[in-house]
Amino acid sequence: MDRLIEYTNHHPWLTLALVLVSIGVVIYEMRSHAETKVSVSPQDMVRLMNQGALLIDMRPLEQYSAGHVGGARQMSGEQILKAAETLKKYKEKTVVVYDDTGSLSASAVRQLASQGFTKAFNLRGGLSAWRTENLPLTRGEKA
């Protein structure tokens, strides 16, 4: 213990860097753990779909028309910001949001949660994960 105190006294900048990195790792792990609570796998999404979940596809309309999860509604990021008004009947129901990779939809889920949506989830890995699982896509315009 005496050597640790001596080392800390001789190398204050290294000690400070170690403390800051440790805090950063803890924050990253806590945030990562919190995000996994609001994300679902493709198989979990199928289960939620069977229970009547609202699906929101955040990709552009051209990509949506080329192939989307059956029953999904296409919405842009701007529409998500106004979801409290347009989707108010779904505030207490399950909502699953996805995009190509899951990064943009994770932000959308946080936005929905801040608007009062109690059961908003992100498709982990986005539509890429859906395709990897060889799950079906529907083609055409809005559902």
- Residue 43 token pair: 């198989």
Report d(CA 61, CA 47) in Å as an integer: 26
Query: Residue 12's pLDDT is what?
Result: 92
**Domain count within the chain:** 2
Q: Is residue 88 part of a domain?
A: yes
For 37: left if phi > 0, alpha if psi spans -120 to 50, otherwise beta; the answer is alpha
Q: What is the mean pLDDT of each run of 10 residues along the chain (143 residues)?
A: 89 93 90 69 94 94 92 91 86 93 88 90 92 90 58
Q: Is residue 141 part of a domain?
A: no
Same domain? 65 vs 114 = yes
Question: Can you give the pTM of this predicted structure?
Answer: 0.73
Which structural domain range is residue 6 located in?
Answer: 2-36
Strand partners, 56: 73, 97
CATH number, domain of 128, equals: 3.40.250.10
Q: CA 74 → CA 43, 56, 114, 138, 143, distances in Å?
A: 21, 6, 21, 13, 8
